[in-house]
Structure 1
């Protein structure tokens, strides 16, 4: 199973947000799931951390915090 569980948790949280009329949270969790999926996929390919940041545009997320 590896790290797939984290994607499952994020998807569950997104479903909860959708079912409880929290659309902004659901949208953000969709973006988080995409970032997590891209980083986990990059790890499988052996990409460097810098490449993962560029591939997923993680810098955009970190500057909004």
Structure 2
């Protein structure tokens, strides 16, 4: 049985001084709040999560590499 979890994340980001928010989506095996903390800690851009949901492995496999 597969106990790994998969997530769809919809988020916005902006670069310092850009003043315009860009929308993006991704799939992840990391919980979205852990992913957000990693992005904030390791990049100068500003990130905010708009939506996330747990998805099936089949949906993860379908989307991985296509929307990331």
TM-score, normalised via structure 2 length: 0.27
Structure richer in strand, relative to its length: 2
Structure richer in helix, relative to its length: 1
TM-score, normalised via structure 1 length: 0.28
Higher RCO, Cα 8 Å, sep 6+: 2
